[in-house]
Amino acid sequence: MADKKNIKVDARLCRDCQACVLACSLHHERECNLELARLVVSKDMARYEFDIVICQHCDEPDCIVACPSDAMILDKRGVVIILDDECNRCGSCAASCPHDAIFYNEAQDRYIKCDLCAGREQGPLCVELCPVEALTFVQAEEPVELEV
């Protein structure tokens, strides 16, 4: 898909401010709550290193293959989407994700993941609000993650 875009993560720039996480939960759930975000900032405080765990919208997504209820699809943008009404909450998608980027929301009893802020013309809000530009919205052909 020639116009496919994705979020590139430069973990070297991340300072764990959580702006991306709060922006995500606010956009999707209308609430600033770290537990409701579709991305996570993982931390290694001993080395003061951070990584942003987010769906990579794989070209051949293991999560779609693993889903027994056909609740995972690729939309016209090449973005992996969860169809909540079809999902049986078995967790096969999350277990199969090589990036650990599908999260179970216990309070809402559903799985959630990044959808690149579907429907938002300006692109993902996490990218827009990252104060250190650790997240950028790029053509998918570019490397998605830089090594730390």
Query: Is pLDDT above 90 for 117?
Result: yes
Query: For residue 48, is it within any domain?
Result: yes
CB 96, CB 62: distance < 8 Å: yes
Cβ burial of 92 (10 Å; 0-12, 13-18, 19+) is: buried
Residues 78/4, Cβ–Cβ less than 8 Å: yes
pLDDT tier at 143, thresholds 50, 70, 90: very low
Which residue range forms the structural domain that includes residue 128?
Answer: 5-137
Determine, yes or no, domain membership for 148: no
Per-residue model confidence as pLDDT tens digits over 44-57: 888 888 999 999 99
**Using one digit for the tens of pLDDT, what is the confidence trace for 88-113?**
999 999 999 999 999 999 989 999 99
Query: What pTM was estimated for this model as a whole?
Result: 0.87
Can you spell out the DSSP letters for 60-119? S-HHHHH-TTS-EEE-TTS-EEE-TTT-----HHHHH-TT---EEETTTTEEE---SSTT
Query: Tokens 């052909």 — which residue?
Result: 141
Answer yes or no: is 147 within a domain. Answer: no
Is the pLDDT reported for residue 17 higher than 80? yes
Count: domains in the chain: 1
CATH number at residue 27: 3.30.70.20
- Tell whether 128 is covered by a domain: yes
